[in-house]
Amino acid sequence: MKQINTKTNWGLVGLLVLLLAACTPAIEPTPEIALSKAWVRLPAGGRDVTGGYLVIENRGGADVLLSATSSIAEEIELHEHVMEDGMMKMREISDLNVPKKGQLVFAPGGLHLMMFGVTDLSLGQEVELVLQFERSGKRSTMAVVGKQLTSGH
């Protein structure tokens, strides 16, 4: 390649750097996810569907909860309860925003992990829940199998 001008134009370089910086979206701080108070409701006699609950605390930047898995369930969906035509219904959420410096509380009657194909759970048993976050990757916590505290999931 033939060099036309060996002298670097620093003014132009500076301008390009500024333009690049302006185009870069504001960098969100790293999320700091902590999982706690996890429990799984002991399924009602003979049923293989139940709810899982926990608290997701985030002391850092925003993140997104994508999915959840556990060795004791064939499938887990993220669910919320919504009022529809005067009736409380469950709805699946594809992904759930975890606000920066905020927390999400999964509890009966609200957000819950809907667990399908659950078998052989006993009271007091500890089971692992694995949550997949967009930025934080996989995070796991131990959940205790407990009795239904209120109606609903």
Strand, coil or helix: what is 125? coil
**35 contacts Cu ion (rule: CB under 5 A):** no
Q: Which residue is nearest to Cu ion (CB)?
A: 79
**73 contacts Cu ion (rule: CB under 5 A):** no
**79 contacts Cu ion (rule: CB under 5 A):** yes
CA atoms within 13 A on the CB side of 18: 6
Whether the Cβ atoms of residue 56 and residue 66 lie closer than 8 Å to each other: no
Cβ 92 to Cu ion shortest distance, Å: 8
What DSSP element (H or E) covers 22?
helix 10-23
**107 contacts Cu ion (rule: CB under 5 A):** no
Cβ 108 to Cu ion shortest distance, Å: 10
Residues 110-149 close enough to bind Cu ion by CB under 5 A: 114
Token pair 């993220």 is at which residue?
Answer: 78
How far is it, in rounded angstroms, from Cα 42 to Cα 52?
Answer: 10
What is the contact surface with Cu ion in residues (CB under 5 A)?
79, 90, 114, 153
